[in-house]
Amino acid sequence: MSTLNNSTNVFWQECQVGKVDRQKLLNQKGCVVWITGLSGSGKSTLACALSRELHCRGKLSYVLDGDNLRHGLNKDLGFKAEDRAENIRRVGEVAKLFADAGLICIASLISPYRKERDACRAMLSDANFIEARLHMVFMNTPLELCESRDAKGLYKLARAGKIKGFTGIDDPYEPPEKCEIEIEQENGVCPMPAAMAGQVVSYLEVKGFLQVQ
C-alpha cells in the first residue's frame, strides 16, 4: 500500500505514560470511526454532528476531513489511484496515533477502494484489544441523490469532462463488503444529522468506548 521506501536504522521509543494511562485520564477508549461514501453522501455532515454530540457528552474527538487534509498533510497528492492509496495510508497512520492518544478519531473520506480501507483496518488492529479499533460507517447514499446535491459543483464538472477520475462518474467506488454501521434512506428520506450521530454514539456506548471500566 505504501508508496514510500521503508525506513532503516530507526527504533521504537517507549514512554512511561502509555495508552491505558491516557484512556484513564480521558475516561474513554481511543478508536477510529471511518466514514466512507460518495462525494455528497453526507460524510462531513455526519462527522461534524458526531463530534458535536461526543463533545456534549464530555468526550474528546477529532475529525480528519479528507478535503481539509489535502490543504496540508496531503497537499502534494493528486487523485490518481496510487495517490489515493497514499492519501488513505497517511490518514490511517494519523488516525492510529489519535486512537493511541485516547481520542475518538472521526475520519471522513471518500476512500473509494476496499483494498486501502482494509489495509487501514489491519493497521489499527490490536491483539491487546477485545474490540476492533476501526469502525466503518458506510454512507449508502444513491449516486443520483449525491449528484442532485452537488454542493461543490464537482459532479457537474465531472460530467462535463473537466474533472477526470471522479469517483462515481469515471472512477469506481467499491462499497464495503462489511461495515459496523450502514446509514441509508428510510422510505426515501435521509436521516437527520442528529439521528445519524445518535446511531453512531449508541454503537460506541454499547461497545464500551465512552468510558473506562
**Residue 111 a catalytic site member:** yes
Give the integer Cα–Cα distance in Å for 31 and 175: 22
| SS3 readout for the chain | CCCCCCCCCCCCCCCCCCHHHHHHHHCCCCEEEEEECCCCCCHHHHHHHHHHHHHHCCCCEEEEEHHHHCCCCCCCCCCCHHHHHHHHHHHHHHHHHHHHCCCEEEEECCCCCHHHHHHHHHHCCCCCCCCCCEEEEEECCCHHHHHHHCCCCHHHHHHCCCCCCCECCCECCCCCCCCCEEECCECCECCCHHHHHHHHHHHHHHCCCCCCC
Catalytic one of 61, 108, 111, 202: 111
Enumerate the active-site residues.
Answer: 111
